[in-house]
A and B are shown apart, each in its own frame.
Chain A
Amino acid sequence: MPQPLNPKDQSLFRQVVRNFELKQYKKGIKTADQVLRKNPKHGDTQAMKALIMSNLGQSEEAFALAKEALRNDMKSHITWHVYGLLYRQEKNYEEAIKAYRFALRLEPESGPIQRDLALLQMQMRDYHGYIQSRTAMLQARPGVRQNWTALAIAHHLSGDLAEAEKVLTTFEDTLKGTPPVSDMENSEAILYKNSIIAESGDLERALENLEKVGYRCTDVLAVMEMRADYLLRLDRKPEAEAAYVALLERNPENSIYYNGLIQAKGIAENDHKALKSLYDEWVEKNPRGDAARRIPLDFLEGEDFKQAVDVYLQRMLKKGVPSLFVNIKSLYEEPAKRDVVQALVEGYVSSNSAQANGSAESKENDFLASTYYFLAQHYNYLPSRNLPKAMENVEKAIELSPKSVEYQLTKARTWKHYGNTVKAAEEMENARLLDEKDRYINSKAAKYQLRNNENEKALDNMSKFTRNETVGGAMGDLHEMQCVWYLTEDGEAYLRQKKLALALKRLHAVYNIFDVWQEDQFDFHSFSLRKGMIRAYVDMARWEDRLREHPFYTRMAFSAVKAYLLLHDQPDLAYGPMPTANGAEGLDEDERKKALKKAKKEQQRLEKIEADKREARKAAAANAKSIDGEVKKEDSDPFGNTLVQTKDPLKEAMKFLTPLLDLSSQNIEAQILGFEVYSRRNKHALAVKCLSAAHAIDPSNPTLHLQILRFRKTLDTLSEPLDPKVAEVVTSEFEKLLPKSQKLEEFNEAFLSANKNSAAHVQAALSGRQLLNKDSKPQCEKDLLATLDSPDITVSEATTALELLSLWDSDKTSYVQKASQKWPESSAFKLD
């Protein structure tokens, strides 16, 4: 039961609350202790003290005290509210919501509790609860526009567009007179309502409404975009045409506007003449622009294309625009265009190098250098690749302009395409040295070093632009600044080296950044209502719901799942990379034990170094702080050794996999990895679901082919029969992919002969053959070697072949020899 306080203590308690509100935390604790000395079981005071402690970063002690407070006073809304706030701080939102609900039941009129509850409901997307909360808040304070808007948002996001609109209209009707133009909240609310009407599909009404109110909205561009879009979709062509012309007058560098204009004018897709003259008009209006010159190259054909691209290329080369190639390379989708460009630019070289040789005229030299540079990129690009020519041209460009970062960078790229990561990293480092103050080239150099598995060198380069006084140094700053690209590349480099602990460490860091990004929206649930920028807020909320669909997440998660699969298949890797044997038997037990011991020793050595460093840092700066003044804790697991020692790698993999399957289900790699995880976890129904999904995306995917065979084998060799219900699903689904009557060898050989020109497919079929018949090994090795005769095989495909040979316990010598003859420049084919 709560103890009543005497008047003096009561006033002291009120002072604690004030101290908390004014962030006078130390004072607050002192005052609270004063009250508690006489009333040691006073729940409210304990709760307030706990809240202050948690704001001081003492979260564990705070939690313990808050629990005690609750035990002492179960009937106080304060103890419950604080309990909820502490859960909220720990990001345990479900428990926080429960606690808030208790608090609210005890004190139904409390604004702050209601607000805290509402914010969490929004964060958790509990729209049902959020609508309830927002309705209550509106009833408490109906005079405030924010409360109306908030309820409308709740209805809108929950899918009830009509109700959302109604709420907004009800408020509008209470307005006396027209708000001033300067009232941005009003301006935004108007557009918000209009976008809801459009979203409901009633474009006619949306347009009508926009024509009535749009003129007074200050987000002029948005009104123009909305109007143009509605008109076009309503097929009101003359007006739509004018609307898109107006948009283009604002911004002639947006192909979407041109498309709108063309559609509005009803110009047929194949009426190239009309299209060209439309774009020409815009070139005239914007002589400095690029889009109107560039876009016609996409649709023009034959002689028209040749003429147009000639003009375009010469103009850009004369101006020395370094981005010319990246701006036209998408034309190479059509081989005819690729060939025209090649012939033209080669022509520029031969007609100009003659002139330039005579005179030292710098203008001509510049043109020539730009042209060589263009050709170097051209011959690097996959659809037109010819690496010796690329190298030849880039050398000529460098000769003319030895200080050019771009030219040197392209040289490094050429080595990369040769499959020589060593030379590529070296040459990119040379490019970096040409402009040490430029972070772009610094980033490139670091990236190429990572591709060459030089993690430390790369970090050293990165540290030239990071704030190295951050806790954890350069790496700490890259974490703090959410440098996703670097953390991912670094993790992938470790994964290639089979250093799984560090690989997982980096990939988890990226995973955590996505968690932070999701958490970031929390403050905006209240902030954006105050600001009144509702459309942007709603767009943000919806984007957050699909946050992990981003390619940055996908790529990181693929690598993380692969790392966990590897860890599951080879638990020894938890102690570090293990030597692989080249030859028949693999490691024997003695060798394995020796290797393990060595790896563990290395792990301990690194940990010791890090621990020493940490001690040194602690001694040097007792109070290492980050820029925002918050005390940052040292990472207790800097090498990821705790992560890698997980008991259940597949369960960990699921954490990364689930968002992939939810949000990127059309990505075949997600389905393929899904199968790998589920089949290892003996979740056969889910595994077959992934196979079906992958099959729907690309039935001829090589990895999928092998997975289908493996799954048949699994079903045939189950140690105990499947649950009848599961069996039914699995059998009927799998029957569609691989009928039971189908002979497996025939299935596999048919796949092989249907795809015999693709190295990846042949590799999959050979693995299939190995799976079905161990004795086929000599033939498989021979056939795998033969894939090197294909003109299309790439270095990375050949690298995959080496992995296959390891898997088969085969001797790699002849493959490596043949590959190194084929690609003498590559660094990928060396015998250990």
Chain B
Amino acid sequence: MVDIVPLSSYPSYIDLLPSIQTCNITNLPENYFLKYYLYHALTWPQLSFVAVVRPKGGYKAGTSKAGAGDLSGNYPKVVGYVLAKMEEEPTDGMQHGHITSLSVMRTHRRLGIAERLMRMSQKAMAESHRANYVSLHVRMSNVAALRLYRDTLGFEVEKVESKYYADGEDAYAMHLNLQSMWMDWKAVEARDKENEKNDDAQDEGDAVGDLGKKDDAKDQEKMVKVKVGRGLGVGELVERNESQPSA
């Protein structure tokens, strides 16, 4: 029985990183230092997810002081993961997410794990980072993955990147629009205003207008100013990755 959990949430699942790295190097030719995984986990903690085998008899209480989901110190077997990020220097100027690596152990195929991992990551990209779309690369020979991305998840082939992989194989560059899952920032701002008003004039009761009820796309664009990687100085931390990112 497999659970899909976030890599970093409340509580933290970060002690799974070495097992994620092992899952990757067991399954795929594109491998990374642990620091590159750390870099993902600490830069975009919302975007990566892990599939773990629930131990016989359930999890032991974790070693941190947090509540129900605390698996720290349990070290369940990792059978899949999605490692994801936001593109730091989008060439098209559009904020978007990217799947650095996705893998499910051969022993745990066809349980819907990859699909679930992808959906979780996509949603988080849209919510946390207002990603316009998510992109990934897939080997042209990888029929099963193609079927998942195109038929199940609705990705479209953007282009073919020739000799993308170290062994010379071509890749499909694929993407999927995520705007429909964006958070309604207008509503958040309306609530902000409401709160401010209440704070300013608490005795005036709950006088709230119908401020910002409708979403105005143009307005929204003006508001969107997400700080991206370079602005905050990723600098030397960007690790080289062995060959190419995979999907």
Q: Are A481 and B242 in contact (CB under 8 A)?
A: yes
Residues of A contacting B54 with CB < 8 Å?
255, 330
**A213 nearest CB neighbor, chain B only:** B195
Q: Say whether A683 faces chain B, with CB atoms less than 8 Å apart.
A: no
Q: Say whether B240 faces chain A, with CB atoms less than 8 Å apart.
A: yes
**B241 nearest CB neighbor, chain A only:** A627
| Contact A255 to B112, CB < 8 A, known contacts A222-B10, A441-B106, A533-B42 | no
| B67 partner, pick from A212, A233, A539, beta carbons under 8 A | A233
Query: Of B56-64, B172-180, B206-214, which stretch is located at the interface?
Result: B56-64
Q: Are A465 and B225 in contact (CB under 8 A)?
A: no
Q: How far is the CA of A241 from the CA of B72 in the complex (A)?
A: 24
Q: How far is the CA of A826 from the CA of B189 in the complex (A)?
A: 71
Chain B proximity of A805: nearest CB distance (Å): 35
Q: Say whether B162 faces chain A, with CB atoms less than 8 Å apart.
A: no
**A437 nearest CB neighbor, chain B only:** B141
Q: How far is the CA of A323 from the CA of B141 in the complex (A)?
A: 23
| Contact A294 to B196, CB < 8 A, known contacts A222-B10, A222-B46 | no
Q: Are B18 and A226 in contact (CB under 8 A)?
A: no
Residues of A contacting B11 with CB < 8 Å?
539
Chain A proximity of B60: nearest CB distance (Å): 11
Q: Are B42 and A221 in contact (CB under 8 A)?
A: no
Q: Say whether A455 faces chain B, with CB atoms less than 8 Å apart.
A: no
Q: How far is the CA of A294 from the CA of B6 in the complex (A)?
A: 21
Residues of B contacting A438 with CB < 8 Å?
106
| Contact A530 to B232, CB < 8 A, known contacts A220-B128, A294-B1, A322-B110 | yes
Q: Are B240 and A536 in contact (CB under 8 A)?
A: no
Q: How far is the CA of A550 from the CA of B73 in the complex (A)?
A: 8
Q: Are B105 and A440 in contact (CB under 8 A)?
A: yes
| B123 partner, pick from A250, A295, A465, beta carbons under 8 A | A250
Q: Say whether B97 faces chain A, with CB atoms less than 8 Å apart.
A: no
| Contact A322 to B15, CB < 8 A, known contacts A219-B46, A219-B128, A254-B4 | no
The residue among B10, B108, B232 with the most chain A CB atoms within 10 A of its own CB is B10
Q: Are A531 and B43 in contact (CB under 8 A)?
A: yes
Interface residues of B in 119-165 (CB under 8 A from A): 120, 123-124, 127-130, 141
**A263 nearest CB neighbor, chain B only:** B68
Chain B proximity of A144: nearest CB distance (Å): 13
Q: How far is the CA of A191 from the CA of B46 in the complex (A)?
A: 13
Residues of A contacting B115 with CB < 8 Å?
288
Residues of B contacting A440 with CB < 8 Å?
26-27, 105-106
Q: How far is the CA of A176 from the CA of B153 in the complex (A)?
A: 43
The residue among A260, A327, A439, A443 with the most chain B CB atoms within 10 A of its own CB is A439
Q: How far is the CA of A260 from the CA of B6 in the complex (A)?
A: 17
Residues of A contacting B166 with CB < 8 Å?
467
Interface residues of A in 477-493 (CB under 8 A from B): 481-485
| B10 partner, pick from A212, A330, A333, A535, beta carbons under 8 A | A535
| Contact A198 to B42, CB < 8 A, known contacts A251-B116, A290-B2, A550-B75 | no
**A187 nearest CB neighbor, chain B only:** B128
Q: Are B243 and A467 in contact (CB under 8 A)?
A: yes
Interface residues of A in 310-337 (CB under 8 A from B): 319-323, 326-327, 330, 333
Q: Are A536 and B8 in contact (CB under 8 A)?
A: yes
| Contact A539 to B14, CB < 8 A, known contacts A290-B111, A333-B57, A405-B106 | yes
Interface residues of A in 250-265 (CB under 8 A from B): 250-251, 253-256, 259-260
Q: Are A517 and B34 in contact (CB under 8 A)?
A: yes
Q: How far is the CA of A405 from the CA of B237 in the complex (A)?
A: 40
Residues of B contacting A219 with CB < 8 Å?
9, 45-46, 124, 127-128
Chain A proximity of B91: nearest CB distance (Å): 22
Chain A proximity of B220: nearest CB distance (Å): 11
Residues of B contacting A701 with CB < 8 Å?
none
Q: Say whether A820 faces chain B, with CB atoms less than 8 Å apart.
A: no
Q: Say whether B66 faces chain A, with CB atoms less than 8 Å apart.
A: yes
Residues of A contacting B8 with CB < 8 Å?
535-536, 539
Residues of B contacting A253 with CB < 8 Å?
2-4, 112-113, 116
Q: Say whether A5 faces chain B, with CB atoms less than 8 Å apart.
A: no
Chain A proximity of B124: nearest CB distance (Å): 6
**A629 nearest CB neighbor, chain B only:** B240
Q: Are A254 and B26 in contact (CB under 8 A)?
A: no
Chain B proximity of A136: nearest CB distance (Å): 22
Q: How far is the CA of A308 from the CA of B192 in the complex (A)?
A: 50
Chain A proximity of B219: nearest CB distance (Å): 13
CB<8 Å pairs between A and B, sample of 14: A177-B196, A178-B196, A218-B46, A225-B9, A225-B10, A229-B66, A323-B108, A326-B53, A481-B25, A484-B21, A520-B35, A520-B38, A542-B64, A549-B73
In addition to A180-B225, A219-B45, A483-B25, 6 A-B residue pairs with Cβ atoms within 8 Å of each other are: A229-B69, A298-B1, A327-B1, A440-B27, A523-B236, A546-B63
Question: A residues bordering B, Cβ < 8 Å?
Answer: 177-178, 180-185, 191, 195, 198-199, 212, 215-216, 218-222, 225-226, 228-230, 232-233, 250-251, 253-256, 259-260, 288-291, 294-295, 298, 319-323, 326-327, 330, 333, 405-406, 437-441, 443, 465, 467, 481-485, 516-517, 520-521, 523-524, 527-528, 530-533, 535-537, 539-540, 542-543, 546, 549-552, 627-628
